[in-house]
Amino acid sequence: MPLEKYIDHTNLKPTATTTDIEALCKEAIEYNFYAVCVNGCHVSSAKKVLRGTHIKIAAVVGFPLGAMSFKAKVQEAVDCIENGADEIDMVINIGWLKSKDYDAVREEIEAIKKAIGDHVLKVIIETCFLSNEEKEIACRLAVEAKADYVKTSTGFGTGGATLQDVALMKRVVGDNAKIKASGGIKTREEALKYIELGVSRIGTSSGPSLIQ
């Protein structure tokens, strides 16, 4: 599969304007990326530009802290889907995970997956804040909750994707979930290394330079 088909072309900046999102979508069309990844308020704008194309829209939920209420996250996911999102990238409740309230973490993921039905759910575990043991637990919870993907990072924490984290995640999820590497992937060489490790999607704001 060509590299462009792994890329979620991303702009999650708080300063992103409607014009910026339109430009992101036009680049996705030009480079034939798999998807764009945007904040929820930009889903309808992205939908207008991408209508009639094969390019998917991924919307982030509970972003970037993961700390809003259970009900708010579920409703946010539903709202994004109703506005035209094809996929949801949700941030887990990191505080609950660190409190060892694993049932609550799992139930939140399950509730969002149930609410969005057949739409793809990616679970951002924000590896930079977790011990290796916590990363493993987070991946297991995502699989138990029937998530489609586990994802490394928001890109807004203290660190992004690492090859070591992706190897750990792959070991835990096996073929039970796909993996999205996100945060700090700036070069084609880096992207290809992640793909070799088994990543199915790469979240990056540097998509055009990766292809060029």
| Domains, the chain, ordered by start | 3-211 (3.20.20.70)
Confidence (pLDDT) at 114: 98
- The reported pTM is 0.97
128 neighbors 161 (Cβ within 8 angstroms): no
- Return d(Cα 177, Cα 158) in angstroms, integer: 25
Confidence (pLDDT) at 179: 98
Own/partner long-range contacts of 98-104 (Cβ < 8 Å, ≥24 apart): 98/129, 98/130, 98/134, 102/137, 102/141, 104/70
Catalytic site positions: 89, 151, 180
Parallel, antiparallel, or unpaired: how do β-strands 120-124 and 178-182 relate?
unpaired
Q: Which residues pair with 203 in a beta bridge?
A: 8, 182
pLDDT band at 53 (very low <50, low <70, confident <90, very high): very high
Query: Tokens 């999820």 identify what position?
Result: 173
Query: Where does residue 155 fall: left (phi above 0), alpha (psi -120 to 50 degrees), or beta otherwise?
Result: left
Summarize the confidence of residues 60-87 as an average pLDDT: 98
In this predicted structure, the answer to whether residue 10 has a pLDDT above a threshold of 90 is yes
